[in-house]
Amino acid sequence: MGAVIRVESLVKEYRDGGRVGPITLTVGQSEVYGLVGPNGSGKTTTLRAVLGLLRPTSGRVEVLGADPFEDPKRVNSRVGYSPELPTFPAFFTARKLLEVTCRLKGMSLQETKREVERVLDLTGLVRHADRRVAGFSKGMIQRLSIGQALVGDPDLLILDEPMLGVDPVGRVHIREVLQEERRQGKTIVFSSHELYEVERVSDRVAMVYMGRTVLEGSVADLLRPSEDVVLEVRVKRPPADGVRNAILRTEGVRSLEIDGQALRVVFDGSRDPREEIADLLVRSGCGLLEMRTAPPSLEDVFVKVVRDGVHS
Ligand SMILES: Nc1ncnc2c1ncn2[C@@H]1O[C@H](COP(=O)(O)OP(=O)(O)OP(=O)(O)O)[C@@H](O)[C@H]1O
Ligand SMILES: [Mg+2]
């Protein structure tokens, strides 16, 4: 199965001197793909290029086998889009807005009726369907925007910051909607600046930083324990120097910090020295109370990449 989206060395130079790129990423069929990066790093620019809404200065963008800028019809009929900070005509009700969206997508009146009900139900907006958008909260606007993207059951969903301004309960619901779409084989690309959110829902991620992709790959690969693992230990009595040195000499251990009863051991994830460390602490009478690994998060990975990148 070919890639759904292929972006190769995309560069966008804005007239006022703003620049994004080079961006390179590949999104496969039925993936949830997270585009993550700080404010102004190029997420929206990348998504707009994928949608054919802007012409790249250089590089190549291919979506569902076509160039979205040259062949927008072919791409747009199969793509649903929820923009960053969506706005709607205030006097529309949610239902009316979705009806108009269906009609613009070429649906008959009968199809429209069915589709509006389906989308209202999916996004949890049934209760609010006949209220004017003017009275909608941020979270409701975001749901409506995602609902609009779902109209016509597109193969590819592009969501620019879908969780922005949504409360925790709303987020759970949006995550469920996305998971359901993915179960049905849809491909979902979304942007966020929250690493935790992206780590939770994505199969693959790209991180953009200062306009460039600095990291791309599957979340599982990026978090593979080949990197350092942090072990947090609590003991009853601080270990004596002998124990401290013995821990430091244990194969795979890189560093040890002791702060009273709390120990922080960093070890090379390719080897697991936990049993030896526990043994040392117990035998030396330190009174082992607690031991847990803190798995690397995407945040650790990204911070490392950015820091290494800045120094190189
Ligand atoms: N229409 C535009 N005209 C000029 N410069 C732009 C335009 N849109 C984006 N830029 C510039 O391109 C860079 C990337 O912006 P972009 O909006 O793509 O970032 P982003 O990652 O989506 O940020 P945010 O998290 O704030 O939404 C910024 O330097 C920005 O100033
Ligand atoms: Mg943006």
Atom 7 in ligand 1: which residue has the minimum CA distance? 14
Residues at Cβ < 5 Å from ligand 2 ion: 43-44, 84
List, chain by chain if needed, residues with CB within 6 Å of any ligand 1 atom: 14, 16, 18, 20, 37, 39-45, 84, 193
191 C-alpha to ligand 2 centroid (Å): 8
Angle at 52 between CA 17 and CA 49, to 5 degrees: 45
Please, what are the domains in the chain? 5-219 (3.40.50.300), 228-296 (3.30.70.100)
274-287 pLDDT, tens digit each? 999 999 999 999 99
Measured between alpha carbons, how far is 221 from 102 in angstroms, rounded to an integer? Answer: 40
CA 109 to chain centre: 36
Angle at 72 between CA 67 and CA 73, to 5 degrees: 125
Measured between alpha carbons, how far is 154 from 167 in angstroms, rounded to an integer? Answer: 26
83 C-alpha to ligand 2 centroid (Å): 9
Measured between alpha carbons, how far is 5 from 3 in angstroms, rounded to an integer? Answer: 5
User: Which are the contacts of 135, defined by CB distance < 8 A and separation ≥ 6?
Assistant: none
Measured between alpha carbons, how far is 64 from 193 in angstroms, rounded to an integer? Answer: 26
pLDDT of amino acid 312: 43
pTM reported for the whole predicted model: 0.82
Measured between alpha carbons, how far is 18 from 308 in angstroms, rounded to an integer? Answer: 25
82-101 pLDDT, tens digit each? 999 999 999 999 999 999 99
In tens digits, what is the pLDDT along the chain, a chain of 312 residues? 579 999 999 999 999 999 998 999 999 999 999 999 989 999 999 999 999 999 999 999 999 999 999 998 888 889 999 999 999 999 999 999 999 999 999 999 999 999 999 999 999 999 999 999 999 999 999 999 999 999 999 999 999 999 998 888 889 989 999 999 999 999 999 999 888 888 889 999 999 999 999 889 898 888 775 567 889 999 999 999 999 999 999 998 988 989 999 998 988 878 889 999 999 999 999 999 999 988 767 877 777 777 676 544
Q: Which of 210, 208, 213 has its CA nearest to residue 18?
A: 210
